[in-house]
Structure 1
Amino acid sequence: MVTAKPERRYDLDWLKVITTLLVFFFHVSRVFDTEGWSVKNDYLLEREGSVYALVKSKQHTQPPLNHDLPPATMEALHSLPQHEQEVIQALTKSQDQILLAPSDIQNSLIYNTQPLQTVGVLAKVIQASSKNVRALLPDESKARNFAEGSQVTSQTLTSYLAAQPLPREEFLIVDGAALGSGEQGQAFLERATGSANRVLVIGRPVFFPIELFISFLNQWFMPLFFFISGAGTYFALNRRSASQYVRERFTRLFVPLLFGCLVVVPPQVYYELRSDPTYRSSYLQFYPSFFSHFTWAHLWFIIYLFVFSVIALPLFVYLKTPSGKKIVDWIADFCLLPGAIFLLGIPMGLIEAALRGKWGFGNYNLIDDWSDVCYYLAFFIVGYLLSMDPRFGKAVDQQWKMALGLAITLMIVMFTASFLGFVPPRGYSLSYMGFIFVHGVRAWLWIVGILGLARSRFNFKIPFLTYASEAAYPLYILHQSVIIAVAFYVVRWSVGAQGKFLAILTIALVVTIALYELFVRRTNFTRFLFGMKNL
């Protein structure tokens, strides 16, 4: 069968714009979730100066916690991940009466098995020095869960503060989310240390809607980015020879990556270092040391895309040959069968089952990140493939509603399992491999569902789309550094989490667009640095 020429559609342009905007929401949300990041919301930051002065002034008169630990405690300590061993050992050596570990033990204080195991080991270390341990939590339910999971005496912060007088000479492990504001946090620390207690604050306030939003996006939005990029690669290669295509990819991807790593990313590292109140260097003093803290941060997407564009080129060239077109014809006809297009998600599931157990999530270092490399490469290749023949679009149009329904069903089941603590630990058990296989297939179902929704609702062109589609790539390059810089100051405001979220989102979006308008799009030189076409 002779393949028809694909029509010019605008749904992928809209998806690119919408997904770029969602990235803004996603990275602003990262300021408020439980995972570690460059800048995090923390009630104590609202009183940073006075709280830090309090920490420095409160040195305990007793020696550090005993390191001559019983064998059972040592065995439990060594069973923890290396990072958590180091955190606990650092805490036990401190003379500070107030210890702050807001993002070190499991990134935050969340109520599932492994974080509570870590806290339980910490409690054993403390008890080995003949100290009573008490945990203070935001509410009764969390106090019960904490007591059961860590075997530590637990109660709410409110009930603890109601005691007159406060218990003396205890070691208090406090969930940072229990401190409702910077003012309340400072008042609690002053009162607790006044009773000769040592205080360890772990974690930060957790906002469940934001956690849910991030978990929802994490299912599909980076796979969608790579799928869209694969589709764009088809149209780029269709107009160029292989050598012209490689030169175009170098200009559009590698040049912005290099510029971004040298200019755009360093402020992120600088503000992360400034989160330590003792860090006093100016930005100019910091910059020469950037390469000792080097990261490509969110630009990992660009280097991965550049590598994918090069290593997949032989396959893409082959698919344009007569024998390659026969394969595309067969797959396109097959995908028209009911449910057949869903089977394209099987490779994603197999990649997850084979590689995720060893390499995990979110390394993004390219060299030792085979799970993400292979996973996202699969979406990139399928994005290219589905752009080659309009029959794939027809298959999506026919089956996207079922795909969306299946994706939502799997999301509910898997989110419920995670919430109830039924997700097996990462590794190569049959249960984990089965779970993560479904994780990969679910992502593909989301792509089919979202693509079909876009094809049915967003296949139109307006002047805004032309502007926004061109702006999406440079806005992506700029956005994270702006968000982190803005968030560094806004999280210190006493306006509540919702007010901070809206302020960071609004200010960062306005500043990023202003930078694009004033410094990127108006000259050919800056357009070149950001991978844009000349005026």
Structure 2
Amino acid sequence: MDDKKPERRYDLDWLRVIAILAVLIFHSTRFFDPMDWDVKNNVLSENIMVLVLFIVQWLMPLFFLISGMSIYFVLSFRTKGQFIKSRFLRIMVPYLLVGIFVILPPQHYLRLLSSGESGITLLEFYSTYLTDIFVNAFPGINLPMGHLWYLYYLFVFSMVMLPIFAYLGTESGRSIISRIASIFEKSGAILLLSLPIGVLTAILDPTSFAGNPNYFGGWGILVYPIILFYGYLIASNKKLEESIQKHGKIALVLALTTFPIILWFIQSVLDGTFQFGSYGYAGVMLLRSFNMWCWMVAFLGYGKKYLNFNNSTLKYANEGLIAFYILHQTVIQIVGFFIAGWDMGIFPKYIILATTSFIAILMIYEIAIRRINIVRFLFGMKPKK
């Protein structure tokens, strides 16, 4: 640990902002796709699945990759105890206090209303919801998560992997990382980091909790600790970062050219042509993981090249990212619930949904969160001086 804070990586801050905006776009899209979601439009579209599948290829992996890099920077100037405290205040306090009791109940209630249930008020539902939490959830550690699973599992993975991260910060750990980096200096080698993800995805049963891609942002939950670890490794070694930057262009080309192939193969998985356990299924998962990792390399490579600058927009956005993430899905579903029955084409309704939700989230953040210290604390933000 070094007492001096590392230089701020503005490119990572910009990538977080891009990811947060992509989350808004993605969940606005979920309102129109034919898959299960709490609130759905009166007309659904198969074609919009192209956008859904495109975003899930890289969105949550990008969040975890940046989080892994952030862990390295935080541990470079904080003790393990300070790290645990800061992660708990920034991640778990918002989830446990705001998420469970304020953000998630409306989503569950709107699902009931959208399914045709009409004989229960919000207060009656909330009473049942709280009973389920305190009677059923806590004994089994089965808390409601919704879109806030990211906060919960980021905290869990960070705590479980903290001893590994702490060791890698020692002299012997840095020596190991240096030897690993020398392997991935070779041309194209950095793209092979997709292999462990591909193998894991191929052997995880997609109907199981750990392997179901529908539960956790399009990927099995056990994929994310690997990406979190990769983020730490990349941030901790200049050779790895240089290799990322060197491969940014080819990674982007490979990501763009392999994505249409993945769309065709995913359809083959969905229609049963390639079933879990077959060589065809394994091949699809390997290719999908390769495509995802190419996106990661491209984002980091181009981000470091073009986004490493600061301005007032970034300062404002960066402060409220967690609050925006926590609020977004509930706001989208509330807006969606009221416009679902409108007789209107999907595209104009999508624009209305996304734009209205974005404005509503910013207003809630600016008026009810950003200016009030106790609320800032509840959303994982530092007090305003």
TM-score by length of 1: 0.65
Q: CA deviation at 1:489?
A: 0.5
Contact preservation (8 Å) 1:423, 1:432: no
Aligned position for 2:66: 228
Q: Deviations over 1:419-466 (max 9, x none)?
A: 567874442122212221222222111100121121222111111001
Query: Which is richer in helix?
Result: 2
Contact preservation (8 Å) 2:206, 2:212: no
Q: 1:279 aligns with which of 110, 114, 118?
A: 118
- Map 1:244-323 to 2 at 5 A: 244-259=82-97, 260-291=99-130, 292=132, 295-323=144-172
Q: CA deviation at 1:325?
A: 0.6
Deviation >6 Å, runs of 4+: 420-423
Amino acid at match of 1:416: W
Q: Does 1:452 align with 2:290?
A: no
Q: CA deviation at 1:372?
A: 2.4
Q: Distance in 1 between matches of 2:38 and 2:238?
A: 44
Q: Distance in 2 between matches of 1:242 and 1:424?
A: 49
Contact preservation (8 Å) 2:377, 2:383: yes
Q: Distance in 2 between matches of 1:455 and 1:320?
A: 23
Q: 1:361 aligns with which of 212, 235, 241?
A: 212
RMSD of the alignment, in Å? 2.1
Q: Distance in 2 between matches of 1:326 and 1:20?
A: 35
Q: Distance in 1 between matches of 2:87 and 2:233?
A: 19
Aligned position for 2:12: 12
Aligned position for 2:50: 212
Q: Distance in 2 between matches of 1:519 and 1:326?
A: 48
- Map 1:66-105 to 2 at 5 A: none
Q: CA deviation at 1:275?
A: 1.1
Aligned position for 1:433: 282
Aligned position for 1:101: none
Contact preservation (8 Å) 1:486, 1:508: yes
Q: CA deviation at 1:364?
A: 4.2
Aligned position for 1:372: 220
Aligned position for 1:168: none
Structure 1 spans left out of the alignment, 5+ residues: 44-204
- Map 1:476-495 to 2 at 5 A: 476-495=325-344
- In structure 2, the residue corresponding to 1:220 is in which secondary structure? helix
Amino acid at match of 2:62: L
Contact preservation (8 Å) 1:226, 1:379: yes
Q: 2:195 aligns with which of 334, 346, 349?
A: 346
Q: CA deviation at 1:517?
A: 0.9
Structure 1 range deviating more: 339-348 or 483-492: 339-348
Count the aligned residue pairs: 365
Aligned position for 1:399: 247
Q: 1 or 2 for the larger relative contact order (CA 8 Å, sep ≥6)?
A: 2
- In structure 2, the residue corresponding to 1:460 is in which secondary structure? coil
- In structure 1, the residue corresponding to 2:247 is in which secondary structure? helix
Q: Does 1:334 align with 2:183?
A: yes
Aligned position for 1:408: 256
Q: CA deviation at 1:278?
A: 4.2
Q: Distance in 1 between matches of 2:119 and 2:353?
A: 24
- Map 1:52-67 to 2 at 5 A: none
Identity of aligned residues (%): 38
- Map 1:452-471 to 2 at 5 A: 452-471=301-320
Q: CA deviation at 1:34?
A: 1.2
Structure 1 residues 277 and 417: alpha-carbon distance in aligned structure 2, compared to 1, 3 A threshold: closer
Aligned position for 1:26: 26
Larger radius of gyration: 1
Structure 1 residues 364 and 206: alpha-carbon distance in aligned structure 2, compared to 1, 3 A threshold: closer
Contact preservation (8 Å) 1:300, 1:364: no
Structure 1 residues 28 and 417: alpha-carbon distance in aligned structure 2, compared to 1, 3 A threshold: same
Amino acid at match of 2:359: V
Q: Distance in 1 between matches of 2:89 and 2:57?
A: 31
Q: Deviations over 1:472-528 (max 9, x none)?
A: 111000110000011001111122212211111111111111111111111221111
Contact preservation (8 Å) 2:206, 2:213: no
Amino acid at match of 2:100: C
Q: CA deviation at 1:216?
A: 0.5
Query: Which is richer in strand?
Result: 1
Structure 1 residues 299 and 224: alpha-carbon distance in aligned structure 2, compared to 1, 3 A threshold: same
Contact preservation (8 Å) 1:274, 1:280: no
Structure 1 residues 461 and 34: alpha-carbon distance in aligned structure 2, compared to 1, 3 A threshold: same
Q: Distance in 1 between matches of 2:200 and 2:356?
A: 40
Structure 1 range deviating more: 373-382 or 400-409: 400-409
Amino acid at match of 1:321: T
Q: Does 1:324 align with 2:173?
A: yes
Q: CA deviation at 1:302?
A: 0.6
Q: Distance in 1 between matches of 2:357 and 2:7?
A: 37
Structure 1 residues 443 and 278: alpha-carbon distance in aligned structure 2, compared to 1, 3 A threshold: closer
Q: Distance in 2 between matches of 1:257 and 1:277?
A: 29
Aligned position for 2:346: 497
